[in-house]
C-alpha cells in the first residue's frame, strides 16, 4: 500500500460546509478494502513532517473537494436528437461505446460516481470492472408494463411473479438498484406522462423483493399519485416527481396539497428525491415549477439528490454543475448545502456510506477546482487535468490542462 500527501489550497469538508485544512494523507494500492482511502486530514506542513517519505501531489493553487455524484443518468442514450429513435436504430456495440464516452465526459466534469438509471443488461458486463470511468451503480432495464415507458430496454413485467423474477435477475447481474416505472414518460412513443402504471401493491412487491436482496429501489414518477403510492410502497427514492396532470387537454404540473397532506409523514421523511431541475429549467420563464415542487417536498422531509437525466434529449453529460447551480439559484440552497447534496447526500441515496467526504475513512474520490465554489459559484467549474493517476476507481486531478486522451 502506497501513501500520498495532497497539498491543496484548501480541503473542503461537506459535513461542516467549510475548508478544514490544506493537506490530505491518502492510501493508494492494495488496501484491505480494495480502494484508495483518506487516512488523515490536517495541515500540510504537519503531515509532511510526520510522513516525510510520502510522495507529494502539489495542488496548492487548487481547492480540493470530494468528487460529485450524479444519481440519474442514462449512459447508453444520445442526448442529441430523438433519443428513442437513435437508440432503436443502433446495435449493442454502439450503445456500449457511447456509454464509455459518456462516462468519461462525466468524469472530466468532476463526477466520480453515478447511478445509471436505465440501460441494457449488456452494459453491466461491459463497464462494471473498468477503471477509467466513474464508479457506477447499475439499475439495468427498468421494470415497466408491456409497451410502457422505456420498454425497449427489455424490462417489461406485469405479474407479481414476473416482478420478483426480474428483481432477482438484476441482483444476479450486479445491479445495486432496481428502477421501477410508476408512471408514463415523455421519451417513449405511446407512453403518457400523466398516467400511472403499476398499482401500489405491485410496487410493494418490487420493493419487498429488492430490499430482501439488498438492492435500492428508485421509482420514476411523473404524476403526484404515482409518487405518493411509491412512497407508501416503501421505495428508497423518487425520480422527477413532476406532478403532471392533463388539464383541459394540456399537460401541466399541478401541486395537489390534499394528495400529499394525507401521506404519513413517517413514510415521506428521508425518502430521496431526484428532481432533475436542469432537465426542465427554462431561463426565459419566470417560475420553475419543477423547482417549486422540489422545495415543497424537501420541506416535507424528502432529501434532495443531484441527478440530471443526462442522455435524454438535450440533457448533456458534462452539465452536472448546472443542477448544483440551480439548487442555489431557484431552490435557494446555500452553496454549502448544494455541495453537501451533490456529494454525501447523493452518495447516501445510492447506499454509498463511505463516499462523498474528505475525512478519515472516506474513499479517496477527489477533484480539484480553480474557483472556490463557496465564494465564486457562478455555474461553471474549472475541473483541471494535467496528470491523472488511477487507483481502482479513484482519480486524483493534479491541475493543468484537460487530457482528452482518457
Encode 99-119: b = buried (16+ Cβ within 10 Å), e = exposed: bbebbbbbbbbbbbbbbbbbb
Give 93's pLDDT tier (boundaries 50, 70, 90). very high
CATH H superfamily, domain 68-349: Metal-dependent hydrolases (3.20.20.140)
Q: Could you state, in order of their start, the residue ranges of all structural domains in the chain?
A: 2-66+357-397, 68-349
Count of H helices and E strands in the chain?
A: 13, 17
pTM over 0.75: yes
pLDDT digits (tens, 9 = 90+) for 48-67: 999 999 989 888 988 999 99
User: What's the confidence (pLDDT) of residue 377?
Assistant: 57
User: In the structure, what pLDDT confidence band is assigned to residue 291 with cuts at 50, 70 and 90?
Assistant: very high
- Report yes or no: 340 and 15 within 8 Å, Cβ to Cβ: yes
Indicate the CATH number for domain 2-66+357-397. 2.30.40.10
How confident is the model over 219-254, as pLDDT tens digits?
A: 999 999 999 999 999 999 999 999 999 999 999 999
Residue 172, SS3 per DSSP = helix
- The confidence score (pLDDT) of residue 29 equals 62
pLDDT tens, residue by residue, 153-170? 999 999 999 999 999 999
**123-129: long-range contacts, CB 8 A cutoff, minimum separation 24:** 123/75, 123/76, 123/95, 123/96, 123/99, 124/173, 124/174, 124/175, 125/173, 126/96, 126/99, 126/100, 127/75, 127/96, 127/99, 127/100, 127/103, 128/174
**pLDDT score recorded for residue 398:** 34
- 89 C-beta neighbours (distance < 10 Å), count: 9
pLDDT tens, 7-16? 999 999 999 9
pLDDT of residue 148: 98
Amino acid 262: pLDDT: 87
Rounded to an integer, what distance in angstroms lies between the CA atom of residue 347 and that of residue 320? 14
Q: Percent of the chain scored above 90 by pLDDT?
A: 77
Cα(364)–Cα(393) distance, integer angstroms = 9
pLDDT at 191: 97
Q: Considering only CA atoms, which of 333, 319, 330 is closest in space to residue 379?
A: 319
List the one residue out of 173, 239, 231, 226 whose CA is nearest residue 199.
Answer: 226
Q: On the CB side of 114, how many CA atoms lie within 13 Å of its CA?
A: 31
| The three grid cell numbers given for residue 104, joined into one nine-digit string | 468519461
pLDDT digits (tens, 9 = 90+) for 184-197: 999 999 999 999 99
Residue 370, pLDDT above cutoff 70: yes
Please report, for residues 164, 270, 323, the alpha-carbon distance to residue 328 in angstroms, rounded to integers and kept in the order given.
Answer: 40, 21, 9
Phi, psi of 359 (to 5 degrees): -95, 175
Report the share of the chain in percent with pLDDT over 70. Answer: 91
- For position 30, what pLDDT does the model report? 52
Of the two residues 399 and 231, the one the predictor is more confident about is: 231
Residue 376 — pLDDT band, cuts 50, 70, 90? low
What 8-state DSSP symbol labels residue 277?
G
Q: What is the pLDDT of residues 297-352, one digit of tens each?
A: 999 999 999 999 999 999 999 999 999 999 999 999 999 999 999 999 999 999 99
pLDDT at res. 228: 97
Please state, rounded to an integer, the average pLDDT across all residues of the chain: 89
235, 219 Cβ separation under 8 angstroms: yes
For residues 346 and 388, which has the higher predicted lDDT (pLDDT)? 346
Strands 68-73 and 2-13: unpaired
The cell for 149 is 415507458
Range in 68-72, 130-134, 288-292 with the lowest mean pLDDT: 130-134
Mean pLDDT of 111-138: 93
Task: Grade residue 34 by pLDDT with cuts at 50, 70 and 90.
Answer: low
pLDDT at 287: 81
Amino acid at each position: 500500500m502506497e501513501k500520498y500527501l495532497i497539498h491543496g489550497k484548501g480541503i473542503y469538508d461537506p459535513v461542516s460546509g467549510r475548508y478544514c485544512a490544506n493537506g490530505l494523507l491518502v492510501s493508494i494500492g492494495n488496501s484491505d478494502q480494495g480502494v484508495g482511502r483518506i487516512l488523515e486530514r490536517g495541515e500540510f506542513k504537519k503531515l509532511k513532517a510526520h510522513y516525510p517519505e510520502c510522495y507529494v501531489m502539489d495542488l496548492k493553487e487548487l481547492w480540493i473537494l470530494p468528487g460529485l455524484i450524479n444519481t440519474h443518468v442514462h449512459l447508453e442514450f444520445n442526448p442529441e436528437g430523438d433519443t428513442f429513435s437513435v437508440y432503436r436504430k443502433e446495435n449493442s456495440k454502439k450503445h456500449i461505446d457511447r456509454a464509455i464516452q459518456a462516462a468519461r465526459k462525466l468524469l472530466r466534469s468532476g463526477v466520480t460516481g453515478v447511478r445509471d438509471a436505465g440501460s441494457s443488461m449488456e452494459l453491466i458486463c461491459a463497464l462494471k470492472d473498468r477503471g477509467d470511468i466513474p464508479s457506477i451503480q447499475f439499475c439495468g432495464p427498468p421494470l415497466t408494463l408491456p409497451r410502457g415507458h422505456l420498454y425497449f430496454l427489455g424490462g417489461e413485467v406485469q405479474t407479481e411473479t414476473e416482478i420478483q423474477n426480474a428483481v432477482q435477475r438484476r441482483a444476479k447481474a450486479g445491479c445495486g438498484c432496481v428502477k421501477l416505472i410508476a408512471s408514463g414518460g415523455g421519451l417513449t412513443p405511446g407512453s403518457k406522462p400523466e398516467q400511472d402504471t403499476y398499482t401500489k401493491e405491485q410496487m410493494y412487491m418490487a420493493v419487498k423483493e429488492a430490499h430482501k436482496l439488498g438492492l435500492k429501489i428508485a421509482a420514476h414518477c411523473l404524476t403526484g399519485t404515482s409518487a405518493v403510492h411509491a412512497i407508501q410502497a416503501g421505495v428508497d427514492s423518487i425520480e422527477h416527481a413532476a406532478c403532471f396532470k392533463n388539464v383541459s387537454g394540456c399537460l401541466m404540473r399541478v401541486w395537489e396539497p390534499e394528495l400529499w397532506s394525507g401521506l404519513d409523514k413517517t413514510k415521506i421523511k428521508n425518502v430521496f428525491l431526484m428532481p432533475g431541475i436542469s432537465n426542465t429549467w427554462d431561463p426565459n420563464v419566470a417560475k420553475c415549477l419543477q423547482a417549486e415542487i422540489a422545495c415543497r417536498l424537501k420541506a416535507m422531509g424528502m432529501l434532495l439528490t443531484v441527478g440530471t437525466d443526462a442522455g435524454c434529449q438535450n440533457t448533456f453529460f458534462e452539465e452536472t454543475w448546472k443542477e448544483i447551480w440551480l439548487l442555489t439559484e431557484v431552490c435557494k440552497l446555500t452553496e454549502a448545502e448544494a455541495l453537501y447534496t451533490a456529494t454525501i447526500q447523493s452518495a447516501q441515496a445510492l447506499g454509498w456510506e463511505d463516499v462523498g467526504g474528505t475525512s478519515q475513512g472516506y474513499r479517496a474520490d477527489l477533484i480539484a477546482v480553480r474557483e472556490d465554489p463557496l465564494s465564486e459559484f457562478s455555474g461553471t467549474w474549472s475541473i483541471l487535468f494535467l496528470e491523472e493517476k488511477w487507483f481502482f476507481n479513484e482519480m486524483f486531478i493534479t491541475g493543468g490542462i484537460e487530457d482528452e486522451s482518457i
